[in-house]
Amino acid sequence: MLKNKNGDVRSGWIILIAFTLMFVAQGLFSIPGSLLLAAWTNQGGAVPSGGILDLHPWFLLLAQGGGTTGGIIATLLIWRFINKRDLSKLGFSGPVKDLVFGLLLGAVSISVIFFILYVSGNVVLLNAFSDPQITVFTFSFLIMFLLVGIFEELFFRGYVMNTMASKGNKKWVIYVVSALLFSIVHGANPNVSIFGLMNIVLVGLLFAYMFDTTKSLLLPIGYHITWNYFQGNVFGFAVSGTTPYGIYEVDISEGSAILTGGSFGLEGGILATAMIIIGFIATKVYSRNRTHGV
């Protein structure tokens, strides 16, 4: 049960150990932000109705961002000292154009969804295009989503997929396990929906395909960053159920939830499904041209 027929520890056990250690590291690195919050409340600081983040966005970076940084560090250490593999084998190699294409593809995908919803009347823009509300959240969340994109791709694609591949698992199994784990960890998010989790499985498969076809984490990292950032901090939709702080504010109350994703965000809607599928096609075309040096 613990070992396979070759006498090697099964990849599932290794990933379970890594996930546990990574989770502990996240908790430890989030302590400074939690202590600061405790100090604030002990001194009579009021928590507004909108939640803790409305106090100041740097609480997010100190707590959640700190935890995400801890997850990155833990994943690198686990790969080096438990998997006993060189860090260069995790997948950070590759041309910068992979990152650029990923950033563009993620941004364009969310932008297309927004404009379809806007033109069809499923969302109402509450501030004019000429009046973006740029705040400190605009910059703090950029840092946060940079960390999230790096961490989640590093662990769920770089670590999980490489660990499973090193143990001889079939490619389809590697894809599915990586995507399912990715979706499961989002299951505790606010306003979670079944369709939203299904879309997260689908985008997890896309990230796996991006990583597999380019042998680099740069493309999925880029897509992941701008998919989240443009969804929440440009167009003002919830990101996997979390509160948006966009430069534009939208009202989805009169729109179709199957299109807008409702309170879970665009990932809970069918337009996201379509754009993710288009992402597979775009990645295939890009990787083919990349291989031929175009």
In order, the DSSP letters of 78-147 are HHHHTS---GGGGS--S-HHHHHHHHHHHHHHHHHHHHHHHHTTSSEESS-TT-----HHHHHHHHHHHH
Contact 90, 154 (CB under 8 A): yes
Query: Does residue 268 contact residue 196 with C-beta atoms inside 8 Å?
Result: yes
Check if the beta carbon of residue 179 is closer than 8 Å to that of residue 208.
Answer: yes
Tens digits of per-residue pLDDT, 103-115? 999 999 999 999 9
pLDDT for 47 equals 52
- Is 22 in contact with 75 (CB distance < 8 Å)? yes
Measured CA distances, 282 to 87, 93, 224, 287 (Å): 29, 21, 15, 9
Percentage of the chain exceeding pLDDT 90: 71
In tens, the pLDDT along 87-141 reads: 989 998 889 999 999 999 999 999 999 999 999 999 999 999 999 999 888 998 9
**How much is the pLDDT for 107?**
98
Residues 263, 232: contact at Cβ < 8 Å? no
| DSSP state for residue 57 in the 8-state scheme | T
pLDDT at residue 50, rounded to an integer: 47
pLDDT digits (tens, 9 = 90+) for 54-100: 556 777 778 888 999 999 999 999 999 999 999 989 998 889 999 99
What's the DSSP call for residue 244?
P
What pTM did the predictor assign? 0.92
Question: What mean pLDDT is predicted for residues 157-161?
Answer: 97
3 state DSSP class of 44: coil
Domain parsing of the chain, residue ranges: 11-291
Backbone angles phi, psi at 9, to 5 degrees: -65, 130
Say what the pLDDT of residue 176 is. 97
Cα-Cα end-to-end distance for the chain: 47
pLDDT in tens, 262-291: 989 999 999 999 999 999 999 999 999 887
